[in-house]
A and B are shown apart, each in its own frame.
Chain A
Amino acid sequence: MTTVTKPDPAPKDPVSTDPFLSVRDLYVRFATEDGTVKAVDGLSFDLERGETLGIVGESGSGKSVTNLAILGLHNPRNTTIAGEIMLDGQELTGASNRTLERLRGNKMAMIFQDSLTALSPYYTVGRQIAEPFMKHTGASKREGRARAIEMLARVGIPQPQTRVDDFPHQFSGGMRQRAMIALALVCDPELVIADEPTTALDVTVQAQILDLLKDLQQETGTSIILITHDLGVIANTADKVVVMYAGRAVERGTTREILKAPEHPYAWGLLSSIPRLTADVDVPLSPIPGTPPSLLNPPSGCPFHPRCAFVEKVGGDRCSTERPQLPDGRGSACHLTTEQKRDIFIEQIQPRLR
């Protein structure tokens, strides 16, 4: 069963300076046969209206789990969720199913990664797009269909009047992903969560889709959470970035700060392990050694310490015993001092990035 432990409500001033979406100390655990998976472990972030937040991390770092928790899509039978998720002043972790159903697809919507499996093979694309519109606005079947055609046209499907009656398998990968976007946007949601929306697509199509999302956002002013493992995707789409590792946020900042002056050793590793189109090809890449940790048994202290090259710099066994905290706002969860971070980045990391 979903157990909800709300933190003590901090006194808040009634002025609406609260962020549009605020996630505080989110914990998501799964009971599995092998033990408890700590998929999300004390995650906090904020999102303002009209803003795009990028969530970056390797596979298994808890990106999808976080966002399914926002929509309340986890199976309560084996999932424990704790913490606070406030969407526009409304608490979501303890909300009833009916409340969530009214919000999903309406005020908040999700774009999934693999449009082939995420769309039902049994219903036409048009019906699947029209369904939430009819449910949330009370529109008739005819209005729903008209709306589906309008949405398909908006995301650039040629001949939407006829394609509306096609089944998903009759669409190409790029068209399906567009249909998926149309489906998410059909009720003009205020929050769109895009979970690796382009990972399954080719680069040229990926660029189309990312631009489309960006432009639609400018048009409608929705807030977007963009989940990805690709820092390049973040670079020209997101305003702010949260870097996740082993279910925790390890660094937070604006896109520019994360890409140009990252502070966390994991972020350094990510940046220096990907080649650039303009980098010197004779310098080998600098991979992060080791492998991502198991969330069944995450490392103690700083979860990155088994792969971190700077444990020595911190000294003692602090890295393996004491969990570093992520400060509010710009910052990183690492025991290195601010000066150390700056010096290491300038001396050792930056030269590798060019």
Chain B
Amino acid sequence: MSEEQQKPSLEKGATADAAPEADKAVPAQRPETGERLLEVTGMRKYFPINGGFVFQRRVGDVRAVDGIDFHIDKGEALGMVGESGCGKSTTGRLVTRLLEPTDGKVAYAGQDITHASRRQLAPIRSEIQMIFQDPYASLNPRQTVGNIISAPMEINGINPTGGREKRVRELLETVGLNPEHYNRFPHEFSGGQRQRIGVARALSVNPKLIVADEPVSALDVSIQAQVVNLLQQVQKELGIAFLFIAHDLAIVRHFSQRIAVMYLGKIVEIGDRESIYVKPRHPYTHALLSAAPEADPDDKGRERIRLAGDVPSPINPPSGCRFRTRCWKAQDLCADEEPPLIQLGGSSEGHLTACHFPEEPTVTARAEDIILDPALAGAEEAADKTL
């Protein structure tokens, strides 16, 4: 990363404690795109389950991530959505090499880092940073803010011109905190402010890729937007690529240029924002979108799909297509054969779907709602009778 980018030209406090009007649109200064930054192929992560009568042995696996492919281009934000336990965080930790993949390949800037040793990773480590969900647990309560933020520089042996402290003070300003807070401790800050500290820590080593695992889900509604705006500014002005993990579909849409939808350890659909939100093909994407609550009482034009039950266990995932146990289009083929993640006829370039019997590319309401939940169907029937 070049020297001038060390001093980001972000407007001071633009996201911080300023009135809403002060929040100008950030300049859409896009970095060169199209260049692969991260390429993941066939990545798997199985967590062994140990058990057994007398002696512990491996009796099964949690297939947290089970063969996924995706890439992130330079300066691009890839959003990742899916229900709890589908493997989003595991993917994030695999990409940052906090976890060792069971199988598959991770290439960063053309270099295979799947099995790179600590030493081989050293130059890259600073370029991939992570922001965590829980702003309370992810900061060491016994360290000052200054120490927390400069830790990655220390680990990676980076000495910015003017010294680390000066850099930390700049970073504090960048993320909308007061540089005077250098010597304070995390407990003196609110959740939103702690998340800003987390962002500053990630920025301290001029990363090219930030993996943000649910960076706003633990925050108050009114604070979430502050952090989202900050991250977006960082992404656009510093040209940092993001793997943005979240379960809030609207926030992911707002933040990411491309979106991957995960279900039970698999990517079931991936594509640009428009394709996923307006022309989804995978039944699960349809279900997910139709379930997202919208703060609009007139929002009757969307399809209404209610799945039955919960996500199955990743220990014994269904054969064939994993979504088939909750899918209304499932047929015999779905149980026998796993659908490949491919571009379907009629889908736009780069919009891949893993489904044998894809849906129409639209989210407008159908003639009839799809209600698979027996209790819901029953209750609705009863309600219809009483009316």
Closest chain B residue to A57 by CB distance?
B221
For the complex formed, measure the closest distance between the CB of B191 and the CB atoms of chain A, giving whole angstroms. 8
B28 cross-chain contacts in A, Cβ below 8 A: 282
Residue interface bits A272-305, CB-to-B below 8 A is 1, else 0: 1111110101111111111110000000000000
B229 cross-chain contacts in A, Cβ below 8 A: 284-285, 287
Q: Is B310 an interface residue (CB 8 A)?
A: yes
- Given A236-B297, A277-B253, A287-B226: A230 and B83 interface contact (C-beta under 8 Å): no
Residue interface bits B267-297, CB-to-A below 8 A is 1, else 0: 0000001000100000000011111111111
- Given A203-B247, A277-B253: A58 and B222 interface contact (C-beta under 8 Å): yes
| Contact in complex: A154, B375 (CB < 8 Å) | yes
| Contact in complex: A270, B221 (CB < 8 Å) | yes
| Contact in complex: A236, B288 (CB < 8 Å) | no
Q: Is A232 an interface residue (CB 8 A)?
A: yes
| Contact in complex: B17, A154 (CB < 8 Å) | no
How far apart are the CA atoms of A211 and B291 in the complex, in Å? 10
A211 cross-chain contacts in B, Cβ below 8 A: 306, 373, 376
| Contact in complex: A235, B23 (CB < 8 Å) | no
| Contact in complex: A208, B376 (CB < 8 Å) | yes
Q: Is A229 an interface residue (CB 8 A)?
A: yes
Residue interface bits B176-205, CB-to-A below 8 A is 1, else 0: 000000000000001011000000000000
A148 cross-chain contacts in B, Cβ below 8 A: none
For chain A, residues 227 to 282, give those with C-beta under 8 angstroms from any C-beta of chain B.
229-236, 255-256, 259-260, 269-277, 279, 281-282
A277 cross-chain contacts in B, Cβ below 8 A: 249-250, 253, 277, 289, 292, 294
| Contact in complex: B254, A279 (CB < 8 Å) | yes
| Contact in complex: B19, A206 (CB < 8 Å) | no
| Contact in complex: B221, A204 (CB < 8 Å) | no
| Contact in complex: B20, A207 (CB < 8 Å) | no
How far apart are the CA atoms of A208 and B192 in the complex, in Å? 31
Residue interface bits B293-327, CB-to-A below 8 A is 1, else 0: 11111110000001111110000000000000000
| Contact in complex: B378, A234 (CB < 8 Å) | no
Q: Is A127 an interface residue (CB 8 A)?
A: no
B21 cross-chain contacts in A, Cβ below 8 A: 309, 348
Q: Contacting chain B: which of A24-32, A65-73, A102-110, A167-175?
A: A167-175
How far apart are the CA atoms of A96 and B102 in the complex, in Å? 62
Q: Is B343 an interface residue (CB 8 A)?
A: no
How far apart are the CA atoms of A100 and B308 in the complex, in Å? 37
Q: Number of A interface residues, CB 8 Å?
A: 63
| Contact in complex: A203, B253 (CB < 8 Å) | no
Q: Is B228 an interface residue (CB 8 A)?
A: yes
| Contact in complex: B25, A273 (CB < 8 Å) | no
Contacting residue for B225 out of A207, A287, A309, CB 8 A: A287
- Given A59-B220, A156-B374, A285-B228: A207 and B293 interface contact (C-beta under 8 Å): yes
Chain A CB within 10 A, most for which of B17, B18, B288, B375? B375
For the complex formed, measure the closest distance between the CB of B328 and the CB atoms of chain A, giving whole angstroms. 13
Q: Number of B interface residues, CB 8 Å?
A: 64
How far apart are the CA atoms of A205 and B226 in the complex, in Å? 28
How far apart are the CA atoms of A86 and B28 in the complex, in Å? 56
| Contact in complex: B375, A204 (CB < 8 Å) | no
Q: Is A63 an interface residue (CB 8 A)?
A: no
B310 cross-chain contacts in A, Cβ below 8 A: 172-175, 202, 205
Residue interface bits A320-331, CB-to-B below 8 A is 1, else 0: 000000000000
For chain B, residues 1 to 38, give those with C-beta under 8 angstroms from any C-beta of chain A.
15-21, 23, 25-26, 28
A229 cross-chain contacts in B, Cβ below 8 A: 220-221
Contacting residue for B221 out of A230, A283, A291, CB 8 A: A230
Contacting residue for B295 out of A173, A174, A274, CB 8 A: A274
For the complex formed, measure the closest distance between the CB of A212 and the CB atoms of chain B, giving whole angstroms. 6
Q: Is A155 an interface residue (CB 8 A)?
A: yes
| Contact in complex: A259, B376 (CB < 8 Å) | no
Q: Given contact pairs A154-B378, A156-B308, enumerate 15 new A-B contacts (beta carbons under 8 Å).
A: A156-B375, A204-B83, A207-B306, A208-B308, A235-B295, A256-B297, A259-B296, A269-B20, A275-B250, A275-B253, A276-B250, A277-B249, A277-B253, A281-B254, A287-B224
A-B pairs, 6 with minimum CB distance: A156-B375, A232-B293, A287-B225, A215-B379, A273-B225, A207-B291
| 7 pairs of residues in contact across A and B, judged by CB atoms under 8 Å | A154-B375, A203-B293, A235-B294, A259-B296, A259-B297, A283-B25, A291-B192
